[in-house]
Structure 1
């Protein structure tokens, strides 16, 4: 059986890994390299992700995959601290004492927010799919907490979509972030970056006899009279698409619901000093061309890199504004009192379809793993609802591989 996998990101490579153990697999990746949103760039003697990443202790599928690939010894558990930047100041929000001292919320706000955090894991998030995050926050935490704490986060994350985002996403986000001790969240990172996961997957696929073709996008799909598919004119017994559903439809695939996606633009910088007071993740309350500043070397050890690595994270809809990289860097320098000569290097990475936007009613848009004889898995799949993650991508890959295997077994 010959299978074509469209897309060489984490879902595509994971699906190829599971399927290549039994079948002949071809992976088509439009970019010059595999990895997708998990791709990396070389920094000195190691690699750094173009978009910030970490994993969680509950990521069962991802951790099992790392173990199978011999990466378990490289997985390091670290503490992720958090803060909020407002009006020229960083407010640490990692420990209970720091949260109690935070002056921009009232004591009543903090109590209600604390109760929401404690209860988040007990909510059935999917049952709130038709309720907006706005309505949920106003109901559980009140107007002041919404205006002073949540509204800036939703604005920076979703922009014009912020009032359409579902409470299901918010509840899931709070629940996954509530697993923390006195020193912050317990988060996982690979010693040599997640490029080692992409490399290990690619190597395993090739050892199994699979082929990975980079720089070759899928540009045409055609269903044959026998019910199989042609991809770029080549015949396959099965096709797994990991790309955005609307793109699959435009290539000639089945008609799928339109899932809203947003783009991401991330500036990565090497700095000569730490400007975040040792904090890993700093959300920006004030309006800015980015929503968060991520101090990677306040999470992963500074000694691994020999300089301070920082991400500026922003999202956009439809088209990235011209001059966005310079605008982000200029704002960062002004806001965090950084001189240009302290920035040793920088680059911006963009993706116009970085991830789904979990608007109300999103649950009804999720396609099944098999549609009209073609298989689909990716950030749009059910394991990535109502919050996308590396774990969800690996789980979706495993599920679609099992769907194909079961389908073939039933035909024998």
Structure 2
């Protein structure tokens, strides 16, 4: 059986890997490099992900895939710190003592917040799919705790759509990030970057005879005599890892669109640590971006010879106008850097960075096999609900491959 995989991100590569040993597989990827949202910039001295990434202690499928690629021993566990920038000052909120010292909440509010977090870890996301995170927080904590603690988090992840996000996403987020010690959150990062995982998958796929076509955006696909024709080539079936609306447009099938958002992420190098040792800073003050992530406050900067910073913003329809210059100008002013201290910078605009987990999202997810011979999987799949991750994308890829193999035996 000849299978076409549309999209060379983590879900597509994983699905292709599981199928290529027993079937002929072709991957069509619109970008010039593989990896999708896990792709990297190749700089002169090192490679770095174009969008920030780390993993969590419960990511078992990721660990299995790393072991399969002989990379698991290079996964290291580091301490992730967090903070809020409010009133032009960064407040660290990593340790219990730092949270106790946070001046924008009273001691009683901090106790309420702590009990809320503990209780949310055991909450059932399915029950909360119809409740907004905003209402969930305000009902249990009040406006002040919500606006000073949770609203910046929602803004950094969902931008102007923050008020639509379900409480299912919030409690899942709290649960997945519950591996904490006195010194901070335990986060995983692959030495040398996740480009090593992508390259290992490409090497394995090439060894099985899988054909990988980079720079190939799919224009059209249609059913034909029990199979599918994709850009003039006939296949027995298709796996699309694109958003449902993109798959519907290309394949002319009735798939209900899901709420998606785009990302504008500026990555830069600088000799200065702009966030005072803190890995992830959410913007509590008004800013043209939602978060500043200093990668080298998670991974030691001496591995790179400089600090690496991500400036992250999400959008619904189109990216902010002239966002590269706007981000740079605001960042330098707000964090006290001179423009010449920005050694390099790259902007990535990703129109379909991921779904927005609005209320009712669980009922919107499409079937994985909506029409004969067409299979769909990716960030929108049940495996990535209600929080997308590398783990979820690997699960989605492996599970859709299993469905294809079962279908091929019918």
**TM-score range, shorter-chain basis?**
over 0.9
Q: What is the match of residue 236 of structure 1?
A: 235
Q: What is the match of residue 170 of structure 1?
A: 170
Q: What is the match of residue 376 of structure 1?
A: 376
Q: What is the match of residue 50 of structure 2?
A: 50
The answer to whether structure 1 residue 134 and structure 2 residue 129 are counterparts is: no
Contact 2:10-2:394 within 8 A present in 1 as well = yes
Q: What is the match of residue 340 of structure 1?
A: 339
Contact 1:109-1:142 within 8 A present in 2 as well = no
Contact 2:156-2:312 within 8 A present in 1 as well = no
Contact 1:264-1:314 within 8 A present in 2 as well = yes
Q: What is the match of residue 221 of structure 2?
A: 221
Q: What is the match of residue 313 of structure 1?
A: 312
Q: What SS class does the counterpart of residue 256 from structure 2 fall into?
A: coil
Q: How does 1:297-308 map to 2 (within 5 A)?
A: 297-308=296-307
Measured against aligned partners, the alpha-carbon deviations of 1:17-49 in whole angstroms (never above 9, x if no partner) come to: 111121110000011111111110123332100
Alpha-carbon shift at residue 108 of structure 1 (Å): 2.2
Q: What SS class does the counterpart of residue 239 from structure 2 fall into?
A: strand
Q: What SS class does the counterpart of residue 352 from structure 1 fall into?
A: strand
Measured against aligned partners, the alpha-carbon deviations of 1:83-112 in whole angstroms (never above 9, x if no partner) come to: 111112111111100011001112222112
Q: What is the match of residue 386 of structure 2?
A: 386
Q: What is the match of residue 407 of structure 1?
A: 407
Greater shift, 158-167 or 237-246, is seen at 158-167
Q: What SS class does the counterpart of residue 55 from structure 1 fall into?
A: coil
Measured against aligned partners, the alpha-carbon deviations of 1:303-356 in whole angstroms (never above 9, x if no partner) come to: 210101111111111111221111111111111111112111111111011000
Q: Distance in 1 between matches of 2:90 and 2:349?
A: 27
Q: Distance in 2 between matches of 1:147 and 1:381?
A: 31
Q: What is the match of residue 323 of structure 1?
A: 322
Q: What is the match of residue 251 of structure 2?
A: 252
Measured against aligned partners, the alpha-carbon deviations of 1:352-400 in whole angstroms (never above 9, x if no partner) come to: 1100001111101111221112100000000110010000000000100
Give unpaired runs (5+ residues) of structure 1. Answer: none
Q: Distance in 2 between matches of 1:95 and 1:159?
A: 27
Alpha-carbon shift at residue 253 of structure 1 (Å): 4.1
Measured against aligned partners, the alpha-carbon deviations of 1:261-300 in whole angstroms (never above 9, x if no partner) come to: 1110111111112121111111110110111111111111
Q: Distance in 2 between matches of 1:111 and 1:79?
A: 24
Q: What is the match of residue 111 of structure 1?
A: 111
Q: Distance in 1 between matches of 2:68 and 2:155?
A: 40
Q: What SS class does the counterpart of residue 206 from structure 1 fall into?
A: helix
Q: What is the match of residue 182 of structure 1?
A: 182
Normalization by structure 2: what TM-score?
Answer: 0.97
Q: Distance in 1 between matches of 2:91 and 2:159?
A: 23
Q: Distance in 2 between matches of 1:182 and 1:169?
A: 25
Q: Distance in 2 between matches of 1:248 and 1:261?
A: 14
Q: What is the match of residue 40 of structure 1?
A: 40
Q: Distance in 2 between matches of 1:222 and 1:138?
A: 48
Q: What is the match of residue 291 of structure 1?
A: 290
Q: Distance in 2 between matches of 1:311 and 1:175?
A: 24
Number of residue-to-residue matches in the alignment? 409
Contact 2:131-2:166 within 8 A present in 1 as well = yes
Give unpaired runs (5+ residues) of structure 2. Answer: none
Contact 2:59-2:391 within 8 A present in 1 as well = yes
Contact 1:6-1:241 within 8 A present in 2 as well = yes
Q: What SS class does the counterpart of residue 84 from structure 1 fall into?
A: strand
Q: Distance in 2 between matches of 1:45 and 1:58?
A: 32
Q: Distance in 1 between matches of 2:383 and 2:139?
A: 28
Q: What SS class does the counterpart of residue 333 from structure 2 fall into?
A: helix
Q: Distance in 2 between matches of 1:288 and 1:164?
A: 20
Q: Distance in 1 between matches of 2:90 and 2:276?
A: 8
Q: What SS class does the counterpart of residue 324 from structure 2 fall into?
A: helix
Aligned CA-pair RMSD: 1.2
Normalization by structure 1: what TM-score?
Answer: 0.97
Q: Distance in 1 between matches of 2:377 and 2:131?
A: 26
Q: What SS class does the counterpart of residue 173 from structure 2 fall into?
A: helix
Q: What SS class does the counterpart of residue 274 from structure 2 fall into?
A: coil
Q: What is the match of residue 63 of structure 2?
A: 63
Q: What is the match of residue 279 of structure 2?
A: 280
Q: What is the match of residue 270 of structure 1?
A: 269
Greater shift, 157-166 or 102-111, is seen at 157-166
Q: Distance in 2 between matches of 1:300 and 1:160?
A: 30
Q: Distance in 1 between matches of 2:33 and 2:272?
A: 32
Q: Distance in 1 between matches of 2:75 and 2:155?
A: 34
